[in-house]
Amino acid sequence: MQIDFGGVMEDIVTRKEFPLKKAQKILKGKTIAVIGYGVQGPAQALNMRDNGANVIIGMRKSSNNWKRAIKDGWKPGVTLFEIAEAAKRGDIVMMLNSDASMKPVWKTIKPFMTAGKALYFSHGFGYVYNDITGIKAPKDVDVIMVAPKGSGLNVRRNFLNGAGINSSFAVEQDATGHALELTLALGIVIGSGYIFPTTFKKEVTSDLTGERVILMGALQGVMSAQYKTLRAHGHSPSEAFNETIEELTQSLIRLVDEKGMDWMFSNCSVTAQRGALDWAPRFEKATKPVFEQLYKAVESEAEARRVTRLGSRPDYKERLDAELKEMRESEMWRAGAAVRSLRPHEKVRQGADKAAGITGRANN
In a domain, 100, yes or no: yes
Could you tell me the CATH number of the domain that includes residue 173?
3.40.50.720
| pTM score | 0.84
Number of domains the chain contains = 2
In a domain, 133, yes or no: yes
In a domain, 364, yes or no: no
Residues above pLDDT 70, as percent of the chain: 95
Q: Do 247 and 329 lie in a common domain?
A: yes
Give the lowest-confidence range in 6-10, 27-31, 211-215, 216-220: 6-10
As to burial, measured by CB atoms within 10 angstroms (0-12 exposed, 13-18 middle, 19+ buried), residue 215 is middle
Q: For strand 118-121 and strand 142-148, is the pairing parallel, antiparallel, or unpaired?
A: parallel
Q: Do 215 and 338 lie in a common domain?
A: yes
pLDDT in tens, 227-284: 999 999 999 999 999 999 999 988 898 899 889 999 999 998 999 999 999 999 999 9
In a domain, 204, yes or no: no
- Alpha-carbon distances of 1 from 163, 225, 324, rounded to whole Å: 19, 43, 43
**Domain edge (last residue) among 140, 170, 198:** 198
**Domain edge (last residue) among 141, 171, 198:** 198
Catalytic residue positions, numbered? 123
Taking the C-alpha atoms of residue 75 and residue 206, their distance in angstroms, rounded to an integer, is: 37
pLDDT in tens, 4-49: 777 787 888 988 999 999 999 999 999 999 999 988 999 999 999 9
**Domain edge (last residue) among 138, 166, 198:** 198
In a domain, 206, yes or no: no
* Residue 250: domain span: 211-355
